[in-house]
Structure 1
Amino acid sequence: MKNPEPAPLHLTLPNRLSYGLGGAVYAVKEAAYVMFVLLFYTQVLGLSGTATGIVLSLSLVWDAVSDPMVGSWSDRYKSRWGRRHPFMIYATVPMGLGFVALFAPPEFVLDSQLWLAAWLLGCSLWIRTALTFFSIPHYTLVAEISQDYHERSALMGQRTAFLFLTTLLLPSACLYFLFDEGAGGDGRFVASNYVTYGWLSALIVWITATACIAGTWKFIGHTRIDPRRAPSTPGFAGLWLDFLSTFQNRNFRNVLAYDLGATAAYGITVALNIIFWTYFWELQATETGLVLGLSVLIAVPIAMVFLKTAGRRMAKHDIVKWAVIVMLLDLSWPYLLRWFALIPDNGDPLIFAILVIQNAIFMSFFILRIVAITSLTADLTDEHEAETGLRQEGGFYAVLQFTTKLGGAVGPLYGGFALDMVGLEEGMRPGAVEQSALDALVWIGAAAIVPLMLVAFYFTFRFSMTEERLRQIQALIARRRRDE
């Protein structure tokens, strides 16, 4: 006898907020690896840029195994707590401890490049594995608790808002209060400050993950499904077959190709941004913190207003197209103004204002592109069920996460290579690096970012999902269930 389908939920603002808090958990990792790990391990601890880039990229290779395994496992998992929440619960404490270890390596590893690289790799594998067990099941909830085309975007909007607010406000506040100029000089180059940052990261993970789990507990019934709708291929090989089966969907294949290009470009951008702000624009730590904080406080409301207005009249694939165009144009204009001597020298307040505006524009449209693509993926899980008869939300989001992380692996790898190529060495301070080297660093970044963004733009024309099409798909699925 098949299990009865739970009644549709009427989602309230507290429901959306509790789901969205899961984005903050993921954001703690993003904040650490985007803003501090490359700087900490190269410029403070003395690990070479190339070694750091290779290690960070190797840790992402593990995601090639863990993401699809966890996604497929959660799709077929059965318990009284549903398919998703047990994974989230067991991941929370280990994840926080990983951040403590990452930013407090023991003394015995500091004198050896090999041991220091090994410590970074071990901590990164630990953190990423725990995060996979939390974030993949959390991601999939959006496809299970709502069937509405726009409601899914609203849920993903909340998740993305928390993700970006935490990703940027956490390092922003720490740059302003923890890494500021003190008796020991520039706080970004003081190792003990990173120990405090590691504990703060752990505390935020534990609080937000617990709140998210408690707030989404009422959705457990919606994660239980008729076993006939879940993948059932036995064994370890079956998990991989579940993973590979998601590629049957043509729309999804093109989404992945787009996301790989866009995420690789973004990974390089954020890996180099902190270097550009520190050395090319010569911002102080407090100024860098304010650029991050102000830009995200501007960007998140703009993106949320857009989703509630124009976003409800635009198809998700069209939002992605425009986001790519705007982000590509936005990355270049401050550097063009500098090279054509149309803006004042570093230190002028106008430089600070330009960087806030640029980053706010970029973040606004990056948020929109993430919301659109992750919400569209939820719709594609319905399309996949219509085509195959199986619900594989975990598999779909695991594959999307994998391509996102694979693209992100390019960032630290390429960034570390670029630092070594231009000769940016341990302990160098702003103002001590030749301008020609900094200009070369910008061109090295652009040589990778621009082609990758153009590839992503090409693939935005090869996938689509409209509200009308989704309703047709869901009506077909409903008719099949009634006929069973």
Structure 2
Amino acid sequence: MVTRYLALLKTASAKPYCGDYNQTETYTPLLTLRQRALYGVGGAVFSVKEAAYSIFVLIFYTQVLGLAGSIAGLVMLLAILWDAVNDPLIGGWSDRFQSRWGRRHPFMLAGAIPMGIGFIGLFYPPAAITEDTWLLAAWLLFWSLWIRTFLSFFSIPHLAMAAELTTDYYERSRLLGARTFFGFICAVALPALALLVLFPTINEIDGRFVAGNYPMYGLWSCLLVWLVAGLAIGGTPRHPGERKVAAKKNASPTTVTALFKDFALILRNLNFRNILFYDAAASASYGILISLNVLAWTYYWELSTTQLSVVLALPSIIGVPLAVWAMGPLGKRWSKHRILQLTIGLMIAVAMSVYLLRWLDWLPANDHPLVFVALLLQMLAWMFLFVIRVICAFSIIADVTDEHELEHGTRQEGGFFAAMGFTTKLAGAAGPLYAGIVLDVINLQEGMLPGAIAQQTLDGLALSLLVGVIPLLLLAWRFTYAISMSPQKLAHIQAQLRAREEQKN
């Protein structure tokens, strides 16, 4: 599948141009197939964290170790709130940073190694810790803060590179499509493989409820982070067409106050503010869906471990490359913000589909193969649409960095992607927090097994999922109509930037 996708990237690489403002104002080819692929594989670093927290952490700490769902959700929210300080500082710092290894790579290396170690600690709490509720909550908080801090060191500079590697409107979508492809494949392939190998059902005991299975998953996560981060760091250029930053900014010291002033400056861009509001709502809906989906598949739909691994993996294996390919023809027909509008509208219908079919009594009992097929098709459609929305949103941000440069004379790619990364992570925390509260409200307690749950509890789980997801998607849909970045608008912005540089020279 990866080989096929690399071939697809090669076919789709129409105009990979990047302006090197440090040396010349001519736009020269920069990106090769190898660079796009090695940049893209770095997206898997973020996905290792997403896979852990969306699939395993909540079940491990609540259903296996006995931590209350509301406490687990609150702990993960506190870890996210730390990113309000952490993310803008790292993003602004990497914008101002100068070294012979470039602005981004030193941060990426500093983040990858300790982040991997964090997964070992997260999934291997000592016995003395697990026996005390507050010690267990503190353990979860410590390692969550650790992982998120060093994830920011890697992922924010990595995202910022996308705006530097190319200035082409369509090529940015292809480049971020590569990142999204590898990220989503990792996000589903890692847990799907783990469900089959590390968490199998043995003697009618579901492996997800066996504490001894989790330390090996932590080790797998650690090694994968080191592998993909190493490929991304070693395979991307150290100075990817970095543009000149205003002389005034170069001369100013890199203080905490200066970094937060940089962060405040990017929020003056109207397009960017609307993207933030849109993404906060869309990401929160995704966090809730993925957190409760695992519980719904386990208890409401009674999927086996094998079926669960297929529902996690197959839609991404098919839907992600299909979405990346579809961005080509869709991009020729509509601008990125129009694609967002269509995508979010369809996601609302897809999220509701299988539950409406169940409540209308149009689906058979859970043990019927048609139920599994319906869930598989729903996830395929959802994944296809979700990947398109992610590519469009991040690609628009890369374009907005040019708009910001025209307005303020500074390059702040790291700041823009830090702000986007923070709102995405903050909104994503809504998933575990909401799911933890739902567990307590519907009385889904530690040790409960599929097939032995009261119907009232199951209905509460399904209803809670839709109540959490649909209103947020509607809000995100509203903000897509306030975003505007067409190919013509970007070309006009970049022409003005080139004219300005020519006047300076």
Q: TM-score range by the shorter chain?
A: over 0.9
- Within the candidate set 219, 222, 246, 2:241 is matched to 222
The runs of 5 or more residues in structure 2 that have no matched partner are 1-20
SS of 1:95's partner is helix
- Name the amino acid aligned to 1:348: H
- Within the candidate set 134, 151, 170, 1:114 is matched to 134
Match in the other structure for 1:304: 324
Match in the other structure for 2:233: 213
Cα distance, 1:86 vs. partner? 0.5
| 1:316-356, Cα deviation, whole Å (9 max, x unpaired) | 00111111111110011111111121111011111111111
Aligned: 1:447 with 2:464: no
Give 1:333-372 correspondences, 5 Å limit: 333-372=353-392
Match in the other structure for 1:11: 31
Structure 1 vs Structure 2: percent identity of aligned residues?
47
Cα distance, 1:178 vs. partner? 1.6
Partners of 2:169 and 2:257 lie apart in 1 by: 34
Cα distance, 1:233 vs. partner? 4.8
- Within the candidate set 144, 159, 169, 2:189 is matched to 169
Partners of 2:252 and 2:438 lie apart in 1 by: 45
| 1:201-232, Cα deviation, whole Å (9 max, x unpaired) | 0010000000011110x242523635528566
Instruction: Work out whether residues 22 and 241 of structure 2, in 8 Å CA contact, stay in contact via their aligned partners in 1.
Output: no
Match in the other structure for 2:338: 318
Cα distance, 1:11 vs. partner? 1.6
- Name the amino acid aligned to 2:78: L
Distance 1:230 1:361, change over 3 A: farther
Instruction: Work out whether residues 85 and 220 of structure 1, in 8 Å CA contact, stay in contact via their aligned partners in 2.
Output: no
Partners of 1:470 and 1:314 lie apart in 2 by: 14
Partners of 2:252 and 2:460 lie apart in 1 by: 52
Partners of 2:65 and 2:55 lie apart in 1 by: 15
Instruction: Work out whether residues 164 and 240 of structure 2, in 8 Å CA contact, stay in contact via their aligned partners in 1.
Output: no
| 1:353-405, Cα deviation, whole Å (9 max, x unpaired) | 11110001001010000000000000000000001111100000000011111
* TM-score, normalised with respect to structure 2: 0.93
Partners of 1:233 and 1:370 lie apart in 2 by: 35
Match in the other structure for 1:148: 168
Larger CA deviation: 32-41 vs 448-457: 448-457
Partners of 1:229 and 1:34 lie apart in 2 by: 43
Instruction: Work out whether residues 274 and 479 of structure 2, in 8 Å CA contact, stay in contact via their aligned partners in 1.
Output: yes
The runs of 5 or more residues in structure 1 that have no matched partner are none
SS of 2:267's partner is helix
Cα distance, 1:90 vs. partner? 1.3
Aligned: 1:396 with 2:416: yes
- Within the candidate set 439, 446, 449, 1:426 is matched to 446
Give 1:177-196 correspondences, 5 Å limit: 177-183=197-203, 185-196=205-216
Aligned: 1:37 with 2:57: yes
Q: Work out the number of aligned pairs and report it.
A: 482
Partners of 1:8 and 1:59 lie apart in 2 by: 43
Partners of 2:481 and 2:384 lie apart in 1 by: 22
Partners of 1:3 and 1:295 lie apart in 2 by: 43
RMSD value over aligned CA atoms?
1.4
Cα distance, 1:306 vs. partner? 0.5
Match in the other structure for 1:456: 476
Match in the other structure for 2:159: 139
Partners of 1:471 and 1:246 lie apart in 2 by: 21
Instruction: Work out whether residues 71 and 137 of structure 1, in 8 Å CA contact, stay in contact via their aligned partners in 2.
Output: yes
Cα distance, 1:308 vs. partner? 2.0
Match in the other structure for 1:68: 88
Give 1:81-96 correspondences, 5 Å limit: 81-96=101-116
- Within the candidate set 271, 289, 292, 1:269 is matched to 289
- Within the candidate set 198, 202, 212, 2:218 is matched to 198
Cα distance, 1:312 vs. partner? 2.9
- Within the candidate set 428, 437, 440, 2:457 is matched to 437
Distance 1:349 1:184, change over 3 A: closer
Cα distance, 1:307 vs. partner? 1.1
